């Protein structure tokens, strides 16, 4: 079994220069109610990157720790107990203690990804949807979107199917097609400051992933869409495509054996299907590939 897992993950990282990836530094801030740090670190480490897990308090005390980072990963969890609103306290602390450094990091070409609480934080922080054309750089944009309570109130933990937009500038979702991942949240509905903003993001293909129903179509209907996000939106990227957040947890699908239908698929002789487009490791491989290529986006 171990050799099969290694071979599967090697295939998903195909095309990556392992020696070059080993020089990439990934920073995973931790603490204050965050979790999923082990799974997120494992995703990048399986692909050969150097991962540093750093308590948020240490990063705030020494913002220079952000220098030389290729990818910044905002993990899931319940930062500060989700008091006031999910991700609000954490986002405020980052904005007023690290805002200029974060804005400069992105302006200089850094990549960032956020899963679940990480996505909630990124929207409230202004990293997503990111600066407008007239915004000065490097400063964080004002908050323009948020993640609020699910239409069907309550925490839902279930696997979801998503489809990626092939026209999106998002470097993280390139070539993924359809994929699955666990979704675990009570506040996952993406909302916008204005209808004008929503239409602009749609026109720019900056909703890279959408929940889909059994027919493969974007849906707002529960349970395929656990939150009721309009248009089936499951995530968002900035204009460059380097900054990306989503509500589901791709870091929880690093091996085909993580899938709840793995045993049934293996019994049916269909295990190879789960080793393909459904594996979350592909998304992290895309991020590392973009970092190696020095993506700057539009």
Q: Which residues are catalytic?
A: 116, 249, 251
Q: Which of 58, 117, 115, 67 lies closest to 90 in space, CA to CA? A: 117
CB proximity list for 3: less than 8 A, separation 6 or greater: none
- 112 beta partners: 72, 243
Distance of CA 82 to the CA centre of its chain: 19
Task: Give the sheet arrangement for strand 209-211, strand by strand.
Answer: 178-185, 156-164, 209-211
Beta bridge partners, 185, equal 156
50 three-class SS: strand
Rounded Cα–Cα distance for residues 277 and 87 (Å): 30
Angle at 185 between CA 179 and CA 188, to 5 degrees: 80
> Residue 83: what are its φ and ψ, rounded to 5°?
-65, 150
Q: What is the 3-state secondary structure (H, E, C) of 239-290?
A: CCCCEEEECCCHHHCCCHHHCCCHHHHHHCCCHHHHCCCCCCHHHHHHHHHH
Number of Cα atoms under 13 Å in the Cβ half of residue 168: 28
Count of positions (residues) in the chain: 298
Largest CA distance in the chain: 57
Give the distance from CA 78 to its chain's centroid. Answer: 16
């Amino acid at each position: 079994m171990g050799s099969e897992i290694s071979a599967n993950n090697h295939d998903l990282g195909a095309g990556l220069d392992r020696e070059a990836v080993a020089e990439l530094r990934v920073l995973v801030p931790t603490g204050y109610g965050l979790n999923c740090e082990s799974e997120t670190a494992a995703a990048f480490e399986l692909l050969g990157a150097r991962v540093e897990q750093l308590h948020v308090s240490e990063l705030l005390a020494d913002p220079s720790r952000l220098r030389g980072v290729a990818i910044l990963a905002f993990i899931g969890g319940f930062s500060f107990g989700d008091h006031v609103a999910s991700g609000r306290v954490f986002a405020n602390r980052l904005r007023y203690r690290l805002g200029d450094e974060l804005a400069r990091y992105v302006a200089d070409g850094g990549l960032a990804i956020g899963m679940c609480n990480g996505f909630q934080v990124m929207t409230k922080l202004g990293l997503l949807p990111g600066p407008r054309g007239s915004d000065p750089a490097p400063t964080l944009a004002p908050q323009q979107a948020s993640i609020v309570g699910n239409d069907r109130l309550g925490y839902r933990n279930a696997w979801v199917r998503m489809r990626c937009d092939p026209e999106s500038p998002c470097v993280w979702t390139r070539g993924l097609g359809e994929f699955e991942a666990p979704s675990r949240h009570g506040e996952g509905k993406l909302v916008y400051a204005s209808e004008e903003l929503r239409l602009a993001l749609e026109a720019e293909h900056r909703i890279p992933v959408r929940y889909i129903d059994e027919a493969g179509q974007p849906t707002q209907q529960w349970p395929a869409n656990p939150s009721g996000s309009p248009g089936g939106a499951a995530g968002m990227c900035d204009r460059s495509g380097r900054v990306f957040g989503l509500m589901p947890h791709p870091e929880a699908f690093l091996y085909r054996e993580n899938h709840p239908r793995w045993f049934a698929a293996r019994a049916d002789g269909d295990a190879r299907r789960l080793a393909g487009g459904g594996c979350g490791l592909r998304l992290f491989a895309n991020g590392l590939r973009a970092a190696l290529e020095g993506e700057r986006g539009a």
